[in-house]
Amino acid sequence: MRIEIWADVVCPWAYIGKRRLERALAGEGAEVVWRPYRIDPSAPAESVPLEDALAEPGAEEMLSACAPGLTPQDNRDRVALIAAEEGLGPSWGAAWRADTADAHRLIALAFEEGGAELQDAVVEGVLRAHFVEARNIGSGEVLADVAREAGFSAGPRLLEAGAGGELVRELLLTGKAMGVKTSPTFVVRGRALAGAQSSEAIVEFVRYAERQEVRELPEEVERLRRAESLLELRDPLGALVLLRPLLESQGEDRGVRSLAARAYFASAQLGRATRELERLVAENPDDSYARHLLGRTLQRRGLDGEAAAHLSLASVMTPGYTG
């Protein structure tokens, strides 16, 4: 059984959730895989002391939204108490506002290089460094130390070489397409449990997910569906990132090309959209949607005369397509 945890390593609930999951699964032998999520994507590339970050205008108001009814300090005290109850004390508290891009690269690379066991050791090291040791996990030196202590000897070299960036980007887009909206989110067989729930709730969730019938789909079908989800979420550039391997390996598949054409149109890559849609229409003149989208693309390019013929034919084939 595989359990995915979509989480950010600057989220205290990710560490608390990790401990609760470990207690819930004691002796189960499940494979736990960590996936990236960003709760602070606007964090500066160079880490800043958290005390300074909290003094910035609007910071306290933003944090108040995380725990309605509590002041930010009261909420931090509450989380520290809960962390201590989970065995994460006595020292607790982040000292840095850190960009987690490199930490996520290290974690993803650990799984690629050594599987779930190595990745877990790296995750534990990153979380401990941030929350217990108050170290700066935006620092390459700190992450290199974490990697070595976890037994991931290749980690520092891979980080320095910039490895893992595209992998993390794809994973972040995959999580978005799946509907992941909070850290942590536990996913088992397509079912999701949001938040650092109690160990009892996690056990109940895992048992429920295990009982559900799941239709396994080929990886390329899953990728196509997730790209379409991103397009529906108005992220056409993200959709194209997920489509890239399919365009390379299945570049003549009509479904892949049609989705790519829609993403090109939605991202204002009108030249690419035109070329792909012209091919689709030439291959299948009765495809009213492709013809309609071609007309709209030509319109946006200011080619009204060429657009009119396609829009007119599309509206005849499918009356709902007008103008």
CA distances 12 to 83, 110, 119, 247, Å, are 8, 21, 18, 39
- Tens digits of residue pLDDT in 185-235: 999 999 999 999 999 999 999 999 988 888 888 999 999 999 999 999 999
Instruction: Report in angstroms the alpha-carbon separations of 77 from 65, 72, 173, 197, 306.
Output: 16, 9, 33, 19, 65
Domains in the chain (CATH in brackets) are 2-211 (3.40.30.10), 219-317 (1.25.40.10)
Which pLDDT score is estimated for 295? 96
Question: Mean per-residue pLDDT for 100-109?
Answer: 98
Query: For residue range 237-273, what is the model confidence (pLDDT) as tens digits?
Result: 999 999 999 999 988 999 999 999 999 999 999 999 9
Q: In which band, very low, low, confident or very high, does the pLDDT at 323 lie, cut at 50, 70 and 90?
A: low
pLDDT of 217 reads 85
- Assign 69 a pLDDT band (cuts: 50, 70, 90): low
Angle CA(25)–CA(27)–CA(28) in degrees, nearest 5? Answer: 60
The answer to whether the beta carbons of residues 175 and 192 sit under 8 Å apart is: no
C-alpha dihedral sign at 192, 194, 199, 204: negative
pLDDT greater than 60 at residue 296: yes
Residue 59 predicted with pLDDT over 80: no
Asked if pLDDT for residue 55 goes beyond 90, the answer is: no
Total-model pTM:
0.93
Determine the average pLDDT of the residues in 61-73: 65
Phi, psi for residue 233 in degrees, rounded to 5: -85, 10
The size of the chain, in residues, is 323
Examine the pLDDT at 104 and tell me if it is beyond 80: yes
